[in-house]
Structure 1
Amino acid sequence: MTKEIETKELKQSIKEFYANAFSFSSPNNSEYTRIDTPFYDRHKNQVILYTKRVGDSYILTDGGYVLDDIESNDFYLKETKNRQLLESQLNIYSISVNFENNELYIKSRNLDDLGMKLNLLLQAVLFVNCMHLNR
């Protein structure tokens, strides 16, 4: 088997995985679309994100789940020295945080960059989960 064929097969395999690994639904006919991902948090629960269209752009969010979950174990990132680490890491991923509702979110200009923004939010969610484990 040549390297070119292996590369094509690898690319196809990964493409099929991502096509089948994510599921999308509209909970209670809301304005949000629920995105069930193939990734798991520290509780071995599937990471679930949400998106909604705002004009020509989109907002992707965790709905406040990650920070709420960590705070339920008395680990308050917004009130500790870890806040600087959190904010600097979220900045690397271009993720914003609303500390009033604990929501991690990112804006996507259009559908073309929505996949990349989803990936950035997933990385941030997984990082924040690891912050709790390493305290």
Structure 2
Amino acid sequence: MTNQWLHGQGLISIRGQWMKAHGYAWHPGPDDVASDEELAAHRARIMIADIQSLVDAYHVWLKDKTVLERIDDWVEITTPYLDRHNDYIQIYARWDDGGVLLTDDGYTLEDLRDGGCKLDSPKRQALLMQTLNGFGVQLSGDRIEVHATPENFALRKHDLVQAMLAVPMVASMFYDLTSPQV
């Protein structure tokens, strides 16, 4: 390989840095000087590759930490995400009308009520519905639910988990307000 070819590939500009970093003696020649633009472009390529490998590792972690268990007609999905008690968030899935019904089985609202949070005032109901609507999920009785297709399952599962995390955060505002009827 010639310096001209290496330079054309964008590699000559980083050769000196690599050699220095790995303990090799290196004496730059006239073709070994990289412009600021070349160095910036190289750093951007390396940074994207590094971050992509971190994203890939996150996908592996998420898959490894998600546990499925069949319970009657449902599949319990234990996620690696933690609720306000540091318990793993669990959702339930089953086939329904050609798609998948995902639900928290009432856990989120029951947990709030058990903790003393009342959701019976119109303002609190409106805040709850606004939060749920923001994630595209619905309330069915006390259950937070969403319907998914095989094509949008990942997004809809994510929306349900996000809603389950957000509702207690919104409800925590109720404890800070001075008016008992808010």
Distance 1:80 1:72, change over 3 A: farther
Secondary structure, in 3 states, of the residue corresponding to 2:151?
helix
Give the partner amino acid of 1:9.
Answer: S
Shift of 1:46: 1.1
Give the partner amino acid of 1:85.
Answer: L
* Residue of structure 1 equivalent to 2:49: 5
Q: 1:17 aligns with which of 55, 61, 64?
A: 61
Is 1:32 the counterpart of 2:70 in the alignment? Answer: no
Distance 1:78 1:97, change over 3 A: farther
* Residue of structure 2 equivalent to 1:119: 158
Matches within 5 A, 1:87-102: 87-99=129-141, 102=142
Identity %: 20
Unpaired segments ≥5 residues, structure 2: 1-42, 175-182
Shift of 1:47: 0.8
Secondary structure, in 3 states, of the residue corresponding to 2:90?
strand
The TM-score with structure 1 as length reference comes to 0.87
Q: 1:106 aligns with which of 137, 146, 163?
A: 146
* Structure with the higher strand share, 1 or 2: 1
Q: Deviations over 1:74-107 (max 9, x none)?
A: 32224442110110111111110023xx100000
Give the partner amino acid of 1:133.
Answer: S
Higher relative contact order (CA 8 A, sep 6+): 1
Counterpart-to-counterpart distance in 1, 2:151 and 2:120: 33
Q: Deviations over 1:18-62 (max 9, x none)?
A: 2112111102xx110000011111111111100010132010000
Over the aligned positions, Cα root-mean-square deviation in angstroms equals: 1.6
Counterpart-to-counterpart distance in 2, 1:77 and 1:12: 40
* Larger-Rg structure: 2
